[in-house]
Amino acid sequence: MEITGAQILMEIFKEEKVDSVFGMTGGAAIDIFDELARTSIQHIMVRHEQGAVHAADGYARAKRSVGVCIVTSGPGATNTVSGLASAYMDSIPLVVFTAQVPTNLIGNDAFQEVDIVGITRPCTKHNYLVRRMEDLARTVKEAFYVARSGRPGPVLVDIPKDIIQGKTAYKPLRAPSLKSYNPTYKPNIKQVKKAINLIREARKPIIFAGGGVILSGASRELAEFARRLNAPVTASLMGLGAFPGTDELWLGMPGMHGTYRANMSIGSCDLLIGIGVRFDDRVTGKIDTFAPHAKIIHIDIDPTSIRKNIPVAVPIVGDCKIALGELERLMDEEALVVDPYKNRPWLDQIEEWKNTNPLSYEQMDIIKPQYVIERLYDITKGQAIITTEVGQNQMWAAQYYHFDQPNSFITSGGLGCMGFGFPAAIGAQVASQDKLVVDIAGDGSIQMNIQEMATAMQYSLPVKIVILNNKYLGMVRQWQQLFYEKRYASTSIEETPDFVKLAESYGAVGLRATRPQEVVPVLKEGLSTPKPVIMDFWVDREECVYPMVPAGAPMTEMLLV
């Protein structure tokens, strides 16, 4: 029996256990959505294709699965680029299907034709243009396999309309096997032994965890490893939640807006164990001053990430979970027991740094944004899924909300894509219907995809938005204040909408706090309301995120006030 290309897609969705997809229809994609409507798969129809990809991203992280997005050709396809780039930078497994004009019109400047494969080649893990009916099923199966395996990432599949409508025989395919693509999961045992030798010698060790720990599901193994070594742990923005943020070994986030104790510890350690991290510029600062006294062990499934930015003593290519398991196994074999007193002077020094310059602010007559985040944490007891927009709101969330569980912090880390947080929260809410999902936003960033409020209302997704409203593009304004003599060029956005009325116009709930004593009542009411809610907090307009390391400076040279 022959079935259409659209029907083949639905069959593979069932095989891949896809239960939700995000997207927007259009002329070239109409047959896919017609078939989708005949299945039990939930389709979340967004109001903009960028929102669809960010929602699929949030879904993938919260569900620990592959996110799926379907859009039409031309502008529908090009609107996905920011979302794809964000997912690519953060290694999030997505499969994005774009409809295309019929194959005989490709290259003829047909209506809503665009070379989306060429456009997205730099910002996808892989992409495909399906030119033959008989290649469709194999290509789609490969797309899911490539997206989730090795270092995960987004894959785009561009399908011409005649392939979508055409018919062919279909039978389920075996799992793909690609000769040119074989990720290394199990680490080289010789390298693991070298790492153990460095661990045995270390007196001032630090573990630096990244998003790779969360993606590989290695949080439990990381915690066991850290406690066995009695080694303090720091984590990148993408790694927050990989290690409990309330644990006594937790240092906080390092880098440009990292904690004083995390940055000073990296500057003084004699061994740094990087696990699933990229060592990007926001963490390292001036490279030749990064961890200057340390030997570095770097564990990552992507060999191209190792030694790309930072020289390392022991490179270990492999899956974080498996590599940590091998380290534990060999330490057991060698009966390696860490003297709990060996690290005591090191831990005492870190405690002194913590007490000398802790994260702090002074709450007075005007609402401080840090105060809002702290009260949000107190009320939710750290049990919410937190998404963020990008900018000061993102950094304050990372600093003042404590993440004890993986996949509880969802943000655009590598790309820093404004407009990410709200649609990502929608995707996370679809994936975790019984959980509280909160988007911490700035008044600038939230407006970039605010149209998705209609999506949240249509599908009864009770996402909460906490706006830290300073009527500025706050992070750029902070740089202007510190480095451009307070010339606030193109950063003032005083003509913002009335967010309470905006929420009500969508049928949602809008609340506002303009004084410190109103913060807790507004949060309690907003979080307990079983509908989408916008909470608008009028915060100190010129509050800055501290600590701050100026661009290009060593991480130990921080601006503290």
pLDDT tens figures, 475-513? 999 999 999 999 999 999 989 999 999 999 999 999 999
In sign, the C-alpha dihedral spanning 459, 165, 28, 172 is: positive
Per-position DSSP letters for 141-163, written without gaps between them: HHHHHHHHSSS--EEEEEEEHHH
Per-position DSSP letters for 470-490, written without gaps between them: -SB-HHHHHHHHHHSTT--TT
Please give the average per-residue pLDDT across 190-216, as a whole number: 97
pLDDT of residue 334: 81
DSSP letter for 330, please.
H
Q: Catalytic site residue 133?
A: no
| Strand 20-23 versus strand 67-71 pairing type | parallel
**Widest CA span in the chain:** 73
| Strand 126-129 versus strand 94-100 pairing type | unpaired
Which residue segments constitute the domains of the chain, with CATH numbers given? 2-169 (3.40.50.970), 189-356 (3.40.50.1220), 369-538 (3.40.50.970)
Q: Which residue out of 49, 374, 452, 543 is catalytically annotated?
A: 49
Coil, strand or helix at 422: helix
How far is 278 from 321, CA to CA, in rounded Å?
17
Rounded to 5°, angle at Cα 9 from 88 and 182: 45
Q: Which residue out of 10, 395, 418, 475 is catalytically annotated?
A: 475
* Cβ contact 392:545 at 8 Å: yes
H/E element, 458: helix 453-458
- In the predicted structure, residue 339 carries a pLDDT above the cut 80: no
Q: Which residue out of 2, 42, 111, 352 is catalytically annotated?
A: 111
- Please give the span between the terminal C-alpha atoms of the chain, in angstroms, as a whole number: 71
- In the predicted structure, residue 434 carries a pLDDT above the cut 80: yes
Q: Catalytic site residue 49?
A: yes
How far is 371 from 384, CA to CA, in rounded Å?
17
How far is 392 from 430, CA to CA, in rounded Å?
27
pLDDT of residue 279: 96
Strand partners, 70: 23, 97
* Cβ contact 86:123 at 8 Å: no
Beta-carbon contacts of 525 under 8 Å, excluding residues fewer than 6 positions away, are 511
* Cβ contact 223:362 at 8 Å: no
Per-position DSSP letters for 3-46, written without gaps between them: EEHHHHHHHHHHHTT--EEEE---GGGHHHHHHHTTSS-EEEE-
Coil, strand or helix at 508: coil
Q: Catalytic site residue 89?
A: no
Please give the average per-residue pLDDT across 523-529, as a whole number: 98
Q: What is the pLDDT of residues 136-145, one digit of tens each?
A: 999 999 999 9
Coil, strand or helix at 327: helix
Both tokens of 108, joined, read 């003829």
Q: What is the pLDDT of residues 290-330, one digit of tens each?
A: 999 999 999 999 999 999 999 999 999 999 999 999 999 99
Comparing CA positions, the residue from 512, 439, 442, 513 lying closest to residue 478 is: 442
Q: What is the pLDDT of residues 366-389, one digit of tens each?
A: 999 999 999 999 999 999 999 999
Q: Catalytic site residue 111?
A: yes
Both tokens of 320, joined, read 């974080």
How far is 319 from 301, CA to CA, in rounded Å?
5
Both tokens of 507, joined, read 């049928």
Q: Which residue out of 161, 354, 368, 464 is catalytically annotated?
A: 161
- How many CA atoms lie within 13 Å of 561's alpha carbon, on the beta-carbon side? 5
Q: Which residue out of 11, 14, 63, 112 is catalytically annotated?
A: 112
| Strand 464-469 versus strand 437-442 pairing type | parallel
pTM for the model: 0.97
pLDDT of residue 186: 98
Provide the mean pLDDT of the chain.
97
Both tokens of 49, joined, read 């294709």
* Cβ contact 33:5 at 8 Å: no
Q: Catalytic site residue 475?
A: yes
